[in-house]
Structure 1
Amino acid sequence: MFLTKWLNKIPAHRKGLVYISFTALLWSSSGLFIKLLKLDAFQISFFRSGIAALTVFAITTLRHKKVNLHFDRISTLSSVFFAGILILFVMATKMTTAANAIFLQFTAPIYLLILEPIFLKTKFENKNLITLIVCFLGMILFFFGKLEIGNIYGNILAIISGMCFAMFALLLKKKKLAGIAEGSLNAVIIGNALVAVITVFLIPSFSLTGTEILILLYMGVFQIGISYMIFNEGIKYVSATESMIIATMEAIFNPIWVFWGIGEVPSIYALAGGLIIMGAILWRNLGKSKEKLTEIVS
């Protein structure tokens, strides 16, 4: 009650910043709980996504009395790519370090620099090329040092997860340009449901301990379900650049929670690569933000 009154009093823009910051913190907890659970990637994906789909569907129904799900070509594809993000990230986190998984997933913006000019006919700028080269060099560092075969596969899956993230963002932007105002919740519901349908045939067992049930309930209800609803609300009040920059909190806090929780320490190469990638992406987006501000002032 107090929190609701406080949020209603603060300016809309600041409210958006609070929503997205809180969302990023919820997202950042995924690495720790994926590592803590002794279940395999398909078991975690099945229960987490099944619970998340039901959570978002139920809350949306209570708020709006009905849920309009869209199954046009773009909506279906965006749901498929969202499902890919979810499954591949869990698999990557199980196989490599949490830092590697999250940093490599956050390479999504660099793929957008290539995809947007091709599919959305945006201008490819010189800054994009510099960002791509720097990020590619950062990605190479993740494959340095002593790596087991599982680490290598995990890194590759994390990169593919980032590609899915880029395609998901691209399709959402394409829908917005086409005047489809359905938002991302459609993909969140269908994408999570799709994950549950796929993984139900791949999990070795449905049996869970009490602790596993509690962790999976948290992950499904809060870490995925409610977090995306909060994010969907927050992006109404802030720019896309601001939301992307604040969301990088996830990549920063994810390995910190894992280090505190289980003592997993990423390699010095991974930390260097992650800092290079995040720095390049922030530099590119902050540059875009300044350019827009200059245009408005002039």
Structure 2
Amino acid sequence: MDHEGQFRHAALAIGLPDDEVGRFVQHLRLSIRLSGGSGGVPVGRFGGLPRLPVGMDWPSDGVSPLPFVFSVDCAALPRVDGFGLPADGSMLFFLNHEQAAATGERRYGRVVYVPAGTDTEAATGSIDDAFVGEQYDVSATLRAEFPGWFGVDEDEDGDEDEDDLSPVRQQVTRDLERDLPHLDELCALANDLWPSDNGYASACIGGYADGEVIKSFAEQTLAWREKTGEIVIPVAKWYSHVELETHRLTSEWVSLARFPVDNERYYRSDGGFVIRHDDLAAARLDEALPVAELTP
């Protein structure tokens, strides 16, 4: 039974309406949580020397080598409905998170896809230890994720007062109340089936891309459409248009990978990659965009 079928079966068993379950699963995404030290079957490896295709140079930003983060065996990963990872081969993630965060340039991150059957070798040469990191195996579990507008991550004080929400968010809230009156029960069931472990995760593959990243894409898209004369947005309507475009783009993009990065200079240091569903399904992993955040 696939994950959608598993969820539908469990939801109907506790009396939730079939049509509502169908609407809910359109928004439910499962991410693959990677962690070390769990004793599970290894699906990938952090650190160490990556296995690159024979003759391939270590990926760089054009000047310096890119730090290697981790690799995964696609065939060993659990399959997730609607998430078009390659069925086999391996993915290798390289990221200079400080430069990516400071500049936003895609040259500071790269995802290398190695098709199954490719002759590979452990990368060698004059690569400093700073570019490889500590080596350890990781295993995989699944966790449920929901879009930001579901409000499942609101603070403990409760939901925001509707009067404080923007008109777009108010409409989204009303649509949710109409289409998913059992939203809390549906989310709770998904979390029971695929719980979010509060322990340390080395990385997550799949799931929703960070909302601020998608909002940035929305702003860039609208600014470009204005520049080319395709649309004209009154200043007073700009934020509403950004919200609507962010809402739309959320369904087009997926988080390919996200992971914490050790950095003693910052309170929080996160890195990762996002990619369009279409590019992922076509194995165009070189289209993945690096994203990084550094919080002092």
Higher helix share: 1
TM-score (norm 1): 0.26
Higher strand share: 2
- Structure number with greater CO (CA < 8 Å, separation at least 6) is 1
TM-score (norm 2): 0.26
Larger radius of gyration: 2
